[in-house]
Structure 1
Amino acid sequence: MTTQFHDHHLSADALDQIFREARSYNGWLDKEVSDEQLHAIWELMKMGPTSANMQPSRIVWVKSPEAKAKLVDCVSDGNKEKVKAAPVTAIIAYDIDFHEELPWLFPHTDAKSWFEGDEEGRKEGAFRNSSLQGAYLMIAARALGLDCGPMSGFDKGALEKAFLADEPRHRANFICSIGYGDKTTIFDRSPRPEFDTFNDIV
């Protein structure tokens, strides 16, 4: 089958870097990730779409030895060494009260009123859209030449107490280490399904 693409599609090398050859890393090279690189990730990921441009993600970039030690205490045993070795681990959290920012984030209409009085709806929307933003974060990091190691193995209550206590309306979604992956720490890629396995075009 011949596949037709738009004239401006990314090169095969770029698609390999972001998707086909990218891996979730378990170990990291001893190579620094700069604050400038973290800013660059944000500048790309913030451009990804969210509902009504709600931008609910609130990210804590865990980089200092003191912050890493706190995070290590919050993650499962299998993730402790990963966090210790990673130059940076991002805590992707979300703000339940994201709607308070909508007057400037989505000024076209009174979007704030859509969410007032519906905390459960805000929680659902914030979780869904911060998950999208976490995926954008990983794509941005890979596009900038970095590697990622997303994780969900952590004590949510302990993590929120350690890192989000000053923002009681923020909730943790997942964490993702960022750096330069050590290729000796990954195993063979797990199977990926063909299109017809989990897809229907109707």
Structure 2
Amino acid sequence: MSKQYHDNLLSDDALDQLFREARTYNGWLEKDVSEDQMKLIYELAKMGPTSANMQPGRFVWVRSEEEKNKLADLASEGNQDKIRAAPVTLIIGYDIDFHEELPWLFPHTDAKSWFEGDEEGREEAAFRNSALQGAYVIMAARAIGLDCGPMSGVDLDGVTKAFFGDRPKVKADWVCSIGYGDRTTIFDRSPRPDFETFNQIV
């Protein structure tokens, strides 16, 4: 890609790290992910845009052996070993009552009133925007040199009860292992479509 019209384009190495060479990992090297790294991932990911800065994502970083086993027991058979072997697995959940935080998260106007009395609408907004936040986490982790293994093969009701049971309006959505990926555990990259396949310019 020419830089003629992209003066702020990242280097090819950076784009490779974030996108072109990044992969979904199934296995992990025996290298720890520190609490400082987890906090840095969040500090980067929280800067990604959400509607009205609603920040509905609720995250649990599963790191201890006891909690990893608890989470793995709620995963499909093919994902259990991945979770147990990963240095940390993040549970991405969403808070249906995110609007209670809007007075300080979006102080420009009374955004809380937009969502009061409409729990169905709040759940839709929380689901969509927390998914965005989870994607930002993946990109932030890659940006600091870590790898990711996102998974949806878990008992979401079970994960919600086990890890968000004290917050009745929070639901689990998916999980993502984070660490230093073992390249022997990945297969050839699946095809990616050209622009013309699924895009229109109108």
- Normalised by the size of structure 1, how large is the TM-score? 0.98
**Secondary structure at 2:93 match in 1:** strand
Equivalent residue number for residue 61 of structure 2: 61
Deviations 1:32-69 (A, max 9, x none): 00000000000000000000000000000000011101
CA displacement at 1:4 relative to structure 2: 3.9
- Mapped pair 1:37 → 2:37: yes
Question: Unaligned stretches of 5+ in structure 1?
Answer: none
Report how many aligned residue pairs link the two structures: 202
Change (3 A) 1:5 1:86: farther
**Secondary structure at 1:110 match in 2:** coil
> Could you tell me how far apart the structure 1 residues matched to 2:134 and 2:16 are?
20
The 5 A counterparts of 1:147-166 are: 147-166=147-166
Equivalent residue number for residue 26 of structure 1: 26
CA RMSD, 1 decimal: 1.0
Contact kept? 2:3, 2:9, Cα under 8 Å? no
Equivalent residue number for residue 141 of structure 1: 141
**Secondary structure at 2:89 match in 1:** strand
- Mapped pair 1:173 → 2:173: yes
Counterpart AA for 1:49: P
CA displacement at 1:2 relative to structure 2: 5.4
CA displacement at 1:8 relative to structure 2: 1.5
**Secondary structure at 2:48 match in 1:** coil
> Could you tell me how far apart the structure 1 residues matched to 2:182 and 2:125 are?
35
> Could you tell me how far apart the structure 2 residues matched to 1:91 and 1:4 are?
41
Equivalent residue number for residue 126 of structure 2: 126
Contact kept? 2:138, 2:148, Cα under 8 Å? yes
Task: Kindly report structure 1 stretches of 4+ aligned residues shifted beyond 6 Å.
Answer: none
CA displacement at 1:168 relative to structure 2: 1.0
Question: Unaligned stretches of 5+ in structure 2?
Answer: none
> Could you tell me how far apart the structure 1 residues matched to 2:72 and 2:173 are?
17
- Normalised by the size of structure 2, how large is the TM-score? 0.98
> Could you tell me how far apart the structure 1 residues matched to 2:2 and 2:64 are?
50
Counterpart AA for 1:41: I
Deviations 1:169-191 (A, max 9, x none): 10111100000000000000000
